[in-house]
């Protein structure tokens, strides 16, 4: 019997590799002869680096960079060799420029910069990678990737020829972009952006209007930021760097989606689909008898491009039964029936608060997986 274990992280509790090992341990205790394949999954957001590097037996690395407000932070990234032997880098912009790096009282959307994201890209270029996969969820920024570009030696200049200071607020003064000193290695590297956000750069559905408030924007700062991104888009178009800023995902990460297109000629792809492709998920399904997925919480958003729902679609295409283990099932049961053959909550329900639930998360997951493996073993005996 071949079982593919392919969970996402249980956010705030277990990484995807830890979930894999917990479920695998439980299944092998009851089904010692089973062939178990573990594929820790992610959708391009937090946990993508850990998941990909674990599954691809790559190397986890770190580098000291400037955080969203200039303080030094340690950003995590990784490298692995693909089937052709080429070195691929994988990174999360949030590790260098993420909202989680700033406590609520220190959020400053006008001055937050993606400079550190550019420094991580530069570190990967120094390793001679041929491809960079970048997840762009969880940003603290709204600068359209301007800071990233400055870290890669693009010069963003005002009318007097002065370099712009960090942050999206300064973009209202942008007059031209000087790419004469930009890192030449950018042209020889393929950039793929893991992005499941569909917002354009500008307007009521754009980066500033939709995501600005959660990053500390208000009625005073948001119009300034929108004007700055509008001006940045104008300069991009005048320079021939982009034709438009209306593509799906251009507004992701405070406009970094569009910035990666303009400065790095990046292509945007579904984060969930990209990770599945990197891990060879579909190939592992060809002779599988069961797929076990998992995530910390399952709700109405799961079916909208989240990794578990996308992985379930692919499994069903191969006629492989899909089992979901979730820390919590929220919403109508009928919603889960559409995506999964079986969906179970791993929480025992006896915990008094969320802290206790999280503390018991690994134990509860193991207990649930062990019981499921026992059921599978009983079913196998009945069929003999």
Q: What is the pLDDT of residue 370?
A: 95
Q: What is the pLDDT of residue 384?
A: 58
Q: What is the pLDDT of residue 205?
A: 95
Label residue 299 by pLDDT band (50, 70, 90). Answer: confident
According to the 3-state scheme, what is the secondary structure of 311-332? Answer: HHHHHHHCCCCEEEEECCECCC
Q: Among 201-210, 230-239, 302-311, which stretch is predicted with the lowest mean pLDDT?
A: 302-311
**pLDDT average, residue stretch 125-144:** 96
Among 281, 91, 94, smallest CA distance to 193 is for: 91
Contact 160, 179 (CB under 8 A): no
Among 11, 18, 41, 15, smallest CA distance to 369 is for: 18
Rounded to whole angstroms, the Cα distance separating 198 from 26 reads: 39
**Other CB atoms closer than 10 Å to residue 162's CB: what's the count?**
12
Mean pLDDT estimate for the chain: 93
Q: What is the pLDDT of residue 217?
A: 95
SS3 content of the chain, % helix, strand, coil (to 5): 40, 20, 40
**Whether pLDDT at 135 is above 90:** yes
- Reduced to 3 states (helix: H, G, I; strand: E, B; else coil), residue 116 is helix
Label residue 342 by pLDDT band (50, 70, 90). Answer: very high
Label residue 347 by pLDDT band (50, 70, 90). Answer: confident
Q: What is the pLDDT of residue 11?
A: 85
**pLDDT average, residue stretch 95-123:** 95
The rounded Cα 22 to chain-centroid distance in angstroms is 23
Q: Where in the chain is the domain with CATH 3.90.1510.10?
A: 48-271
Label residue 278 by pLDDT band (50, 70, 90). Answer: confident
Rounded to whole angstroms, the Cα distance separating 126 from 118 reads: 12
- Reduced to 3 states (helix: H, G, I; strand: E, B; else coil), residue 29 is helix
DSSP label of 9: -
Q: What is the pLDDT of residue 382?
A: 65
Q: Among 68-82, 135-149, 319-333, which stretch is predicted with the lowest mean pLDDT?
A: 319-333
- Reduced to 3 states (helix: H, G, I; strand: E, B; else coil), residue 205 is coil
Q: What is the pLDDT of residue 350?
A: 58
Q: Where in the chain is the domain with CATH 3.40.50.10350?
A: 2-39+282-383
**pLDDT average, residue stretch 368-384:** 84
Q: What is the pLDDT of residue 379?
A: 81
Label residue 105 by pLDDT band (50, 70, 90). Answer: confident
Label residue 44 by pLDDT band (50, 70, 90). Answer: confident
**What stretches of the chain show up as alpha helix (H) in DSSP?**
16-30, 48-55, 94-97, 115-126, 146-151, 207-211, 221-239, 252-264, 271-279, 281-284, 307-317, 333-339, 354-359, 361-383
Architecture per CATH, domain 2-39+282-383, reads as 3-Layer(aba) Sandwich (3.40)
Rounded to whole angstroms, the Cα distance separating 325 from 227 reads: 45
**Counting beta carbons within 10 angstroms of the beta carbon of residue 119, is it exposed (0 to 12), middle (13 to 18) or buried (19 or more)?**
buried
Higher model confidence: residue 75 or residue 334?
75
pLDDT, one tens digit per residue, over 237-259 is 999 999 999 999 999 999 999 99
User: What's the whole-model pTM score?
Assistant: 0.86
Helices (H) and strands (E) in the chain, counts: 14, 13
Contact 132, 126 (CB under 8 A): no
- Reduced to 3 states (helix: H, G, I; strand: E, B; else coil), residue 114 is coil
Among 92, 1, 60, 4, smallest CA distance to 276 is for: 4
Rounded to whole angstroms, the Cα distance separating 284 from 55 reads: 13
pLDDT, one tens digit per residue, over 12-34 is 889 999 999 999 999 999 999 99
Contact 168, 69 (CB under 8 A): no
- Reduced to 3 states (helix: H, G, I; strand: E, B; else coil), residue 130 is coil
Label residue 378 by pLDDT band (50, 70, 90). Answer: confident
Label residue 306 by pLDDT band (50, 70, 90). Answer: confident
Architecture per CATH, domain 48-271, reads as Alpha-Beta Complex (3.90)
Q: What is the pLDDT of residue 352?
A: 54
Among 174, 177, 231, smallest CA distance to 202 is for: 231
Q: 344 pairs with which residues across the strands?
A: 325
**Whether pLDDT at 64 is above 70:** yes
**Whether pLDDT at 383 is above 70:** no
């Amino acid at each position: 019997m071949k079982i593919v274990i392919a969970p996402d992280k249980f956010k705030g509790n277990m990484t995807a590799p830890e979930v894999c090992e917990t479920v695998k341990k439980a299944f092998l205790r009851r089904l010692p002869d089973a062939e178990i394949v573990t594929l820790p999954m992610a959708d391009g957001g937090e946990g993508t680096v850990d998941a990909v590097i674990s599954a691809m037996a790559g190397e986890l690395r770190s580098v000291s960079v400037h955080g969203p407000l200039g303080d030094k932070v340690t950003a995590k990234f990784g490298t692995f060799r693909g089937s052709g032997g080429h070195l691929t880098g994988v990174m999360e912009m949030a590790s260098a420029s993420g909202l989680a790096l700033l406590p609520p009282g220190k959020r400053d959307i006008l001055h937050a910069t993606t400079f550190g994201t550019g420094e991580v890209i530069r570190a990967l270029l120094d390793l001679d990678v041929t491809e960079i996969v970048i997840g762009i969820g969880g940003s603290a920024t709204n600068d359209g990737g301007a800071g990233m570009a400055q870290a890669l030696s693009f010069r963003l200049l005002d009318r007097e020829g002065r370099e712009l200071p960090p942050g999206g607020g300064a973009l209202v003064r942008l007059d031209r972009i000087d790419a004469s000193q930009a890192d030449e290695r950018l042209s020889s590297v393929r950039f793929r952006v893991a992005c499941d956000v569909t917002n354009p750069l500008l307007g009521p559905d754009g980066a500033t209007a939709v995501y600005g408030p959660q990053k500390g924007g208000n009625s005073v700062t948001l119009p300034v930021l929108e004007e700055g991104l509008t001006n940045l888009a104008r300069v991009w178009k005048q320079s021939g760097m982009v034709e438009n800023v209306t593509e799906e995902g251009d507004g992701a990460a405070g406009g970094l989606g569009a910035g990666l297109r303009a400065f790095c000629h990046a292509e945007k792809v579904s984060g969930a689909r990209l990770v599945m492709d990197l891990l060879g998920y579909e190939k592992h399904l060809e002779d599988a008898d069961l797929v076990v997925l998992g995530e910390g919480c399952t709700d109405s958003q799961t079916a909208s491009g989240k990794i578990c729902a996308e992985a379930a679609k692919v499994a069903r295409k191969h006629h492989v039964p899909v089992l979901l283990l979730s820390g919590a099932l929220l919403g109508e049961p009928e919603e889960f029936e559409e995506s999964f053959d079986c969906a179970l909550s791993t929480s025992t329900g006896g915990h008094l608060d969320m802290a206790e639930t999280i503390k018991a998360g690994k134990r509860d997951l193991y207990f649930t997986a062990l019981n499921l493996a026992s059921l599978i073993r009983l079913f196998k005996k009945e069929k003999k």
